[in-house]
Amino acid sequence: MFNNHSFEFRSQSVSKGDYIFRQGEAANYVFMLISGKIRLERHLSDGQILIIHQTSQQESFAEAALFSDFYHCDAKAVKDVKIEVISKNTILTKISNDPEFAISFVELLAKQVQSYRNRLQISFIRSAEERILAALKLGIEIESVIEFSGAVGLTHEACYRSLSKLVKSKQVVKIRRGKYRLAG
């Protein structure tokens, strides 16, 4: 969404495995992912890591930090990434001065709200198989079972087991090791 708008930003490269920002740091910037893959993750008190969001799309992230003093999660480069770093002030000014931008920004956030509602909904499904099916129907992809298990809130063992059952019952197709898709 930032494509159509001129910005004062600086480009930055981050190597795979490195962090773009960490939970608790002062939140001064919003980011635009240009290439690669990033993951937003949060550490739970019991050591579990929750994947808040993950994308390799050209999209912004950490917009929720606009009105927050610090980041509430880690942003990690899952692959080598190129990002654009935009100061919070720049965006707030643009929302005020550029109506078209304001609308598209509101749209972005409204869609995020819906997407979180969907994820919340699937997290309430008790059966592992049903939960995995629901996640796939929502468009959550399985490129790695361990990653996926973090996204749906199941152990990876439960995911492996359920996936193999779903494959047997022909509801899911196994593309290759660790990679699955909805059947049909």
Can residue 178 be called a binding residue for DNA (CB under 7 A)?
yes
Can residue 48 be called a binding residue for its own copies (CB under 8 A)?
yes
- In three-state secondary structure terms, 37 is coil
**What is the distance in angstroms between the CA of the first residue and the CA of the last residue of the chain?**
32
Quick one: which segment of 25-33, 57-65, 109-117, 154-162 binds DNA (CB under 7 A)? 154-162
**Cβ 136 to DNA shortest distance, Å:** 15
Q: Which two tokens stand for residue 146?
A: 């361990």
Can residue 128 be called a binding residue for DNA (CB under 7 A)?
yes
Indicate which of DNA, its own copies, none lies near residue 164 (CB less than 5 to 8 Å, by partner kind). DNA
Can residue 177 be called a binding residue for its own copies (CB under 8 A)?
no
- In three-state secondary structure terms, 98 is coil
What are the backbone dihedrals phi and psi of residue 66, each rounded to the nearest 5 degrees, phi first?
-55, -35
Mark 54-81 as b/e (b = at least 16 C-beta within 10 Å): bebeebbbbbbbbeeeebebbbbbbeeb
Distances (CA, A) of 126 to 84, 129, 151: 39, 9, 15
Q: Which of 4, 99, 139, 177 binds DNA (CB under 7 A)?
A: 177
Can residue 140 be called a binding residue for DNA (CB under 7 A)?
no
Can residue 52 be called a binding residue for its own copies (CB under 8 A)?
yes
Indicate which of its own copies, DNA, none lies near residue 169 (CB less than 5 to 8 Å, by partner kind). none
CA 46/CA 21 separation, integer angstroms: 22
Can residue 37 be called a binding residue for DNA (CB under 7 A)?
no
Residues of this chain that bind its own copies (CB under 8 A): 42, 44-46, 48, 50, 52, 63-64, 66-68, 72-73, 92, 95-97, 99-100, 102-103, 105-107, 109-114, 116-117, 119-121, 123-127, 130, 134, 153
